Structure 1
């Protein structure tokens, strides 16, 4: 059946647009479309955007923060890893899938249709990876899930970690993961970056490394990752997640590297809520924000997107998959609140994330692409962000995942109605 969505506000359009959908694709987008026998839905001038993308999540960890022995007393990244190491062995495949389904439900109901999740493979049985591979297939009609074969305890700090990462790729993971700043010595961190690039080329996979998630300005593994990705010609398929140390390095180094990031085409993921919570723990005052240089990277022409990272796990006690909440925190923390920046801030949780996931061929509001989009309860990008607008309608490949009725307030006072 054809569907015609009328009176949509699009971010870069000067006038309301109509969207014609047939067989799960956009067939036309124009100011006025006539379509015989099409079901017509009037969007009333509300803002339409591509679906939200959460490019960095840990679905195998969700809702484990309250488990016995999982409490992170120091609130640091490294204690979080230790707590997870001590408690993860008891998780069954069914438990992991049950918790992950709940998290996906929260994210999808908040407008997310694309998730990249890391699956911890520092486990000889690969329980989490296998569970998430099954879940990826089970939920494919409502959400696209990419899986990273991720060695949470290190490729070389954990026995046979590199072999387990490779086995994860053979089983069907989409991306090579790593955590070079957690390895036992710089030499092994560098070795893990080399290995990640080697595996990505061997298996034709994407790369997404937890990279320099520390305040230590001497943690500079992103430099090596950039060089290797550039030399292999796979920069656009490569992502550096976190890169918190880039916020602590000297400016001469930072801006020299930004030219290299742009040259290589590298993607960056920042997790605003998580990293402002985890980082700066050894600082007294002044206390660093702990985020990478999002504003400066974007100004340098480097692709950056925002992510949730955790939902109630040993690293972060909150989180609910609401990307508008992540965006709100991110633009405040990164001081990206000029009117021009606000008007294009939604890119950080939509199109920039799609570019990171390497799905631009099917993603976006354009004829021929998948008819997947959100209708927000706002008339413009500025109002959507100012009001932290909710999602009124989520459409995936032409099928409506859900609709909501706009909230209404009843009051005897006209001003409050």
Structure 2
């Protein structure tokens, strides 16, 4: 008989009481008020977390694993989106399967270390040879790490979707790609590119996850076309739009009208604060805009908004360590989400909301769900973003898979007397 595990004295969001989380066969079998005493037995493994915060495993719904860790080899001297695009595309055909696999693996391990248990990555496609290399690399990583993390891939469709490109896209869907995406607002013919992406997605019964309106220009408005196509094709609930930064540059009435259409189309929004703080506003002087979408107003309209890592140490964003708590903190700063209620909302934006956008089954701390979670070294939910706890323990399917512990050693002469 397999032993049951009890995570004893866990603090979870939304509960005033400490909880006992019982796990069996990789799933939660009960979530109850913490007992004062639990009788030990050979069939019961007790892990007393002493009031530490336990969150569902983080879900990073927008990454670029094939680009990650290419900085400083690939630089971006202007700090603009356009230079990042052309510099990466200029270098990508020099990348072989092994180098892509190694960088993907290293980035995923960073994410797991910080508490992430599911990732959706966008993968580039500008040439057929790179497409085949990147999919082979993704397949290897997915196979090697399937016991540790859930992985999903979005193919970024090119701007000119010819018959040959369409064949490649159909091949990709049959070889591990889950969704179709792209950045139609950057195309010379955004409406045509977007129409083709929807046409292909519908024919393949594939969900859609797009880069949309990553611009400071208020006239860049592909999001409206995305909404209309979503409604027209009955794809409500199957479309995600990332970035949407031009929404913040629009006038209030225009933006509100567009956000109402987003709600009607049931489109999920992903804000990418690290990359957009870095890339946007490069032409501004004096008061430089933050470059995020209208996070707070979208939330007020009950539109699902997730926060994600986007680019990690590449020409689009030279920093980052695949830590979604860091991303939540940047979102808090950038979107002015600072009340206690908003801090809890930020935790949802890196857990339950992206899990819903990824259609993860059996997710969350609840009976019958997979026991994928992270234990943080803090007993106060309000202090998570202040402390960004270094010590964390990541669990997957009811088993600990990574533990990070902070070690502090004071010199005896300098050690504070109150420690």
Supply the distance in 1 between the matched residues of 2:165 and 2:6 (Cα, whole angstroms).
51
- Matched with 2:141 is 135
Supply the distance in 2 between the matched residues of 1:227 and 1:60 (Cα, whole angstroms).
31
Instruction: Label 1:158 to 1:94 Cα distance change in 2 as closer, same or farther (>3 A).
Output: farther
Supply the distance in 1 between the matched residues of 2:274 and 2:34 (Cα, whole angstroms).
41
* Offset at residue 320 of structure 1 (A): 0.9
Supply the distance in 2 between the matched residues of 1:237 and 1:409 (Cα, whole angstroms).
51
Supply the distance in 2 between the matched residues of 1:217 and 1:48 (Cα, whole angstroms).
41
Instruction: Label 1:173 to 1:307 Cα distance change in 2 as closer, same or farther (>3 A).
Output: same
Picking from 21, 30, 33, the partner of 2:32 is 30
2:373 matched to 1:373?
yes
**1:220-369 correspondence to structure 2 within 5 Å:** 220-359=221-360, 361-369=361-369
Tell me the SS of whatever aligns to 1:90.
Answer: coil
Contact 2:54 2:373 in 1 (8 A): yes
Supply the distance in 2 between the matched residues of 1:239 and 1:56 (Cα, whole angstroms).
10
- Matched with 2:16 is 14
CA RMSD of aligned residues (A): 1.8
Tell me the SS of whatever aligns to 2:174.
Answer: helix
* Offset at residue 315 of structure 1 (A): 1.1
Unaligned runs of 5+ in 2: none
Supply the distance in 2 between the matched residues of 1:414 and 1:234 (Cα, whole angstroms).
63
TM-score (norm 2): 0.93
TM-score (norm 1): 0.93
Contact 2:135 2:176 in 1 (8 A): no
Unaligned runs of 5+ in 1: none
Name whichever of 390-399 and 28-37 sits farther off.
28-37
Supply the distance in 2 between the matched residues of 1:270 and 1:146 (Cα, whole angstroms).
18
Contact 1:120 1:129 in 2 (8 A): no
* Offset at residue 148 of structure 1 (A): 0.6
* Offset at residue 65 of structure 1 (A): 2.0
2:55 matched to 1:54?
no
* Offset at residue 157 of structure 1 (A): 8.0
- Matched with 2:106 is 102
Tell me the SS of whatever aligns to 2:320.
Answer: coil
Supply the distance in 1 between the matched residues of 2:386 and 2:164 (Cα, whole angstroms).
49
**Partner deviation per Cα, 1:118-148 (whole Å, 9 max, x = no partner):** 1112221221122112211221111111101
Supply the distance in 1 between the matched residues of 2:330 and 2:109 (Cα, whole angstroms).
22
2:174 matched to 1:148?
no
* Offset at residue 407 of structure 1 (A): 4.3
- Matched with 2:219 is 218
Supply the distance in 1 between the matched residues of 2:258 and 2:204 (Cα, whole angstroms).
28
* Offset at residue 395 of structure 1 (A): 0.8
Tell me the SS of whatever aligns to 1:229.
Answer: helix
- Matched with 1:181 is 185
